[in-house]
Chains A and B, each alone.
Chain A
Amino acid sequence: MSKVEPTECDKFCELLSCYLDNELSSDNCKKLEQHMKDCDTCRGFFESLELTVELSRKIVRCEEYEMPDEVGQRLREILRTRCKEC
């Protein structure tokens, strides 16, 4: 297995989020994919970052954050009164 200089891994690590979001140029994308084929550590790191994002998206969307109906009613009542004063 090829041994990669730390600086190269550092550089690729900085690109991982953009890669995850399909925001990398095709040139950088190819370079990163080739690097991850050669470097188990960077590939493992990418997988753990991908999983973190996937989980965060699911969990932060949970129902705990849904607005209770009475909050919406209160908001509109307050606005009706306060906006008249503007």
Chain B
Amino acid sequence: MSETNANGLNALTDDELVKKAQENDYESFEELVRRYEKKIYGHTIRMLGNREDAEDVLQETFLNAFRALGSFRGDSSFSTWIYRIATNNALMKIRKSGRTYTEFEEDIPPPEMMRDRPYSWFERNPREAFLEKELVETLNKAVNELPEKYRAIFLLRDVEGFSTQRAAEVLGISESAAKSRLHRARMYLREFLEKTLDGKSTLKNE
């Protein structure tokens, strides 16, 4: 049994816990931490690619949330709010680390060029064969190669399963910008898979 069962906090909604936490009930804040720590850690490790940075950002996120709790008005859900803090912290961590990514809008061939290429890799490989070690590594690498703003929208929409509206809210961008970025991210991943698994990758290998 988790210790939260004893105090009944796990039966409360996020909104109820936020309200109690705003009234200085630390146990309620900790229940919110327990509720979201695994999700936020998963999101930050996918954003950052390593455990140490993910743990730092996890701690910063909940500390920032605690400090800002008084100004949280509930315009968005607590869940959206905590993801926004975590995503911003992860983006800041990436920028501070000096990791840079090629902006790939220009690097993706325009559709009319891709249109004429055969989709040999996708046609040759049955879906059953996909869950192989090589594929897992390739996709993880592809996601890590995505420039951060594209990685963020891809992770929120396709991994966390957020709606476009909610993902846009987390990122502080319009829904049309979110749709456009998501499309670019998916196109990049598709391209990466095809090039890498066809042995024709033009991306740098370290």
Contact = CB atoms under 8 A, between A and B. Distances in A.
Contacts, number: 128
B12 interface: no
A55 B38 contact: no
- Interface of chain B: mostly helix, strand, loop or mixed: helix
A interface, over-half SS: helix
Interface in A58-74: 58-62, 64-67, 71-72, 74
A67 B41 contact: yes
B135 interface: yes
B78 interface: no
A14 B112 CA distance: 11
B29 interface: yes
Interface in B111-130: 111-112, 114-116, 119, 122-123, 127, 130
A86 B55 contact: no
29 contacts: A10-B112, A17-B182, A18-B183, A23-B179, A41-B115, A47-B119, A47-B122, A48-B122, A49-B186, A49-B190, A52-B189, A52-B190, A55-B135, A56-B143, A57-B158, A59-B135, A59-B136, A65-B41, A65-B46, A66-B42, A67-B38, A67-B41, A71-B51, A74-B55, A75-B55, A76-B37, A79-B30, A82-B63, A83-B26
